[in-house]
Structure 1
Amino acid sequence: MANPYSIGRDCRITVLWNGQRVDLRDVTSFSAAQETQALRANPLNGVPLEFNVPNGWRGAFQIARANAALDNLVAAVEAAYWNAGTVGSGTIYQYVTEPDGTTSTWEFSNVSMQLKSDPWQADHMIHQTVQFFASTRTKIS
C-alpha cells in the first residue's frame, strides 16, 4: 500500500544561483513559511477587520556537508559584492512527490540567503544551515 500522507523523503530541493545549479548533494531538511503584513481597520461603528497581505517567504534548509559547494557559493556571493558591489539572487525549487504519485513543484524566487552555522567537531558529521528569504513562491506544476 502506498503511503497516504506526505513524509520527509517526499521532498527534494534544487538551488540555482545567478542561473547556475549549486550541487547540494545531501539536503537533510527544508522549511518555508509565508510572511504577511497585517493591515487593520478599526471602524467606529463595527468590529475590527484585518487583512493579511503576502510579504514573501522565509525558510531554512540544512545539508550534510559532502563537498565545498555551499562554501564556494557563499564565497562567490561575498566576492561579487566586495569586488563589484553586486548582490546576486537565487531560485530554490522544491519538488514534492504527492501521496497520489504526482509531483508538485514550487519555485521560490529572488532568494537571498545567509549561512547560519558551520560547526566543526571531531568525530561528527558537519551540517550546514542556510536561512533564506524569497520574494514569492509560485506553483510550477
Structure 2
Amino acid sequence: MSFTARQAPLRLTTGAFILNSGFSKRHLDPGTAAYLQTMAAKAIPQVAQLAPEKFGTYLSYAEMGVGTALLTPFVPARLAGLALGAFSGGTMLMYFRTPEMTESDGIRPSQEGTMVAKDIWMVGIALALILGRKGR
C-alpha cells in the first residue's frame, strides 16, 4: 500500500479539503467562474481563452482529481504529491503575479492576498510527499 501512517494526516486533511473545494465549484454561476478565470489567467494566461463556464468546470474537475488522488490509498505518495504540487504551485504563481495580493516587497501578503497566501501549506505538503522516504 502506498499510503503510510506517516503520510495519513497530510493526505487525508489536504485531500478532503481540496475534494470539497472542487465539489463546491461544480455549478459555479457565470460571474464567479469569470472572476476565478481572471485570477487564474494571471498565473497561466492561456486559461483566458476558455469560456468562463468551461474554466469553472475544468477547475472543479481538477480539484476533485487532486483531492481524490490524495485520498486514494493505492496512489503512490510521490504521484499524489506531484499532482498537489502542480495545483498548489499554480495557486502560488497566481499569488506572486497579482500585485494587489502582496505588499510592496512582493512577498508578504496584503489584506487581499491573505486568503491565497495561506495556501502555501499545500506546497509544503506536496514537497513532503514527493521527497519522503520510500516505504519498506
| TM-score, scaled to structure 2 | 0.27
- Which structure has the highest helix share of the two? 2
Q: 1 or 2, which has the higher strand percentage?
A: 1
Give 1 or 2 for the bigger CA radius of gyration.
Answer: 1
| TM-score normalised according to structure 1 size | 0.27
